[in-house]
Structure 1
Amino acid sequence: MTTEHAGGHAAPANATEYIQHHLSHLQTHDGSFNLDTFWISAVLGLVFLGVFALAARRATPGVPGKLQNFVEWVMELVNDTVNSAFHAKSKVIAPLAITIFVWVWLMNAMDFLPVDLLPRVLEFFGVYKLRVVPTADVNHTFGMSFGVLLCIIGFSIKAKGAGGWTKELFTAPFHAHGTVATIILAPVNFIFQMLELFAKPISLSLRLFGNMYAGELIFILIALLPWWAQWLLGGPWAIFHILIVTLQAFVFMALTVVYLSLAVEKH
């Protein structure tokens, strides 16, 4: 795949061009694929796997090290959420929740890097466009939420069987007594079930995207200010953004667990 680049690249001439430049993706030649979103999210996923694998390899029953303490704290936080929201038995739900929380947090935390740092570094390699926050790309958040949608359907079918899940699509939420009433209400039930099913991933993706896009844009606007104003405003905003980054990762994970819990319940 070829990337967008130009040997005669010129620095943004004004604030509008600066903002547009930093909101432009590194894409394939035909513009159909955001390479920066893909590679940054993939690298951060490998970082997550590497750190947790290292912690597991170094884990000891005695006095734990700092890395083991941190990993155990994350796992306890996620396990508490899973135990309080997911009441069925599953060997997948806890690892899935931990993966979602840490991976989304790492992608959100890319917002803490100076706005021009990675783009300036990659300019030495002929790359002049880069967005470093994958979760500020709506394509990526929709992709993750589509994965959650597939999990919802898969958990439902595993818990209720294909026949039971299909039956539920046409008989809930409005239950009817008698064949005629069931047939009459079936289209209404199906419409409501589809609305509920697709509203979940859409709300997941847009909530995460909206918050991270807004945060990214504010950092870009702060970067346009004089250096003293950047320190004056950037520091407090970065501290506040730590809460947003963590909260959005937690919300995405917690809602996923709740949706999967609802998926295995029989209505």
Structure 2
Amino acid sequence: MIHQFASSLHISVKADEILQVGGISITNSHLLGALGLLVLLWIMLRTRAAALGKKKPNFVTRLVNWTFDGLYGTVKQVIQDDVWAARVAPLTITIFFFVIAQYWLGLLPFVGPVTVGEHSTPLFRGGVADLNMTFGLAIITIIAAQVYAFRYLGFRGNMGRYFVNPLKDPIMSFVGILELVAEFSRLLGLSFRLFGNVLAGEVLLIMIAYLTKYASPAMLQPFYLFELFIGGIQAYIFFMLSTVFISLGLTPHGDHNESSHAHVHSPVDISKKMTENENK
């Protein structure tokens, strides 16, 4: 019975190839990812038109504006320098909207059941359910953190976070090595965390649909609502971690001169300040 149950289910960890264009493999995650990008672009253009008074605001445009204001306020809490917050916010907020759009589109009813080919390959798969997508987003975040750090600290200042003369300061030299290892761990952590949560959500929905059979349309509704909530949480976590990782690159190690970097605070300081504000 267990063998029959396992053999009747097929869960693919990697995205499946649908076709090839000019020798380039197009997977089912690419198809839904492109669709999600077009939908997100249309929503943003519609929101911009509403903000300029060219279109009448609706629930979606108001929700986007409200979310943007909240996220921008979060960036300003993490990076308490208005100039640098304005520079970092466009990237991290865009990542939030992209991730949440890709996550939610992966929950549509036609994602999974619609198949092609003799092996019944799903035609669509969530964009962030592909490790290549989450890994790409993580690479963009880590590279952006280095770019911002180079612009803020300069070449020598940024390299000084990683490479210190061990004869002059052996402790900070060891800390620099740890910081290099931390950069790679952040890259892997960002990519695998999002991918793992999306894959777990897909497996959950597949298992519930299989176990409930004909009652699945009714039984899946609470789980769909749960996944919508989880999608928002995962997008916010990715956004928050990206913002924090970038802010960490704006402060050199061993620099205790508050006058030179008075506007950049560590995540611990930020959490303390947020707690104090809530108590007030």
TM-score by length of 1: 0.79
Match of 1:19 in 2: 9
Cα distance, 1:200–1:35 mapped onto 2, change above 3 Å: same
Distance 1:118 1:98, change over 3 A: same
1:59 maps to 51
Q: Does 1:153 pair with 2:146?
A: yes
Aligned pair in 2 of structure 1 residues 234, 68: CA closer, same or farther (>3 Å)? closer
* Residue 144 (structure 1) shift: 0.9
The whole-number CA distance in structure 2 between the counterparts of 1:36 and 1:72 is 31
Say if 2:32 is the partner of 1:37: no
Secondary structure, counterpart of 1:192 in structure 2: helix
Against the structure 1 CA distance between its residues 21 and 242, is the aligned structure 2 distance closer, same or farther, given a 3 Å change threshold? closer
Aligned residues between the structures: 244
Counterparts of 2:133 and 2:238, CA distance in 1: 13
Are residues 52 and 32 of structure 1, via their aligned partners in 2, closer, same or farther at CA, if it must alter by over 3 Å? closer
Kindly tell me: are residues 131 and 37 of structure 1, through their superposed partners in 2, closer, same or farther at Cα, counting changes over 3 Å? same
CA deviations over 1:147-180 (Å, ceiling 9, x no partner):
1110111111111111111122124xxxx9xx83
Gaps of 5+ in 1: 1-13
Other-structure match for 2:95:
100
Cα–Cα, structure 1 residues 112 and 118, in superposed 2: closer, same or farther, change >3 Å? Answer: closer
Higher strand share: 2
- 1:167 aligned residue (160, 164, 173): 160
**Counterpart in 1 of 2:261?**
none
Unaligned runs of 5+ in 2: 254-280
* 1:238 is the counterpart of 2:224: yes
Q: Give the superposition deviation at 1:68.
A: 3.0
Q: Relative contact order (C-alpha < 8 Å, sep 6+): which is higher?
A: 1
| 1:250 aligned partner | 236
CA contact (8 A) 2:130 2:195 kept: yes
Partner of 1:181: 168
Aligned counterpart in structure 2 of residue 109 of structure 1, from 104, 110, 115: 104
1:263 matched residue in structure 2: 249
The one-character-per-residue Cα deviations of 1:71-97 (angstroms, maximum 9, x if unpaired) are 211211211211111223234322212
| Aligned residue type for 2:79 | F
Structure-2 separation of matches of 1:203 and 1:245: 17
User: What is the letter of the counterpart of residue 85 of structure 1?
Assistant: V
Code of the aligned partner of 1:180: L
Q: Distance in 2 between matches of 1:208 and 1:40?
A: 17
d(CA) in 1 for partners of 2:28, 2:116: 14
Q: Over aligned residues, Cα RMSD in angstroms?
A: 3.1
Amino acid corresponding to residue 37 of structure 2 in structure 1: G
C-alpha displacement at 1:60, in angstroms?
4.9
CA gap 1:76/1:165 in 2 versus in 1, 3 angstroms: same
Of residues 134, 145, 152, the one that matches 1:141 is 134
Deviation string, structure 1 residues 226-246 (Cα, Å, up to 9, x no partner):
445424531221222222111
- Is contact 1:25-1:131 (8 Å) kept? no
1:225 matched to 2:211? The reply is yes
Deviates more, 1:19-28 or 1:244-253: 19-28
Query: How far 1:118 moved relative to its partner?
Result: 4.1
| Cα separation, partners in 2 of 1:79 and 1:239, compared to 1, 3 Å | same
User: Which residue identity does 1:98 align to in structure 2?
Assistant: I
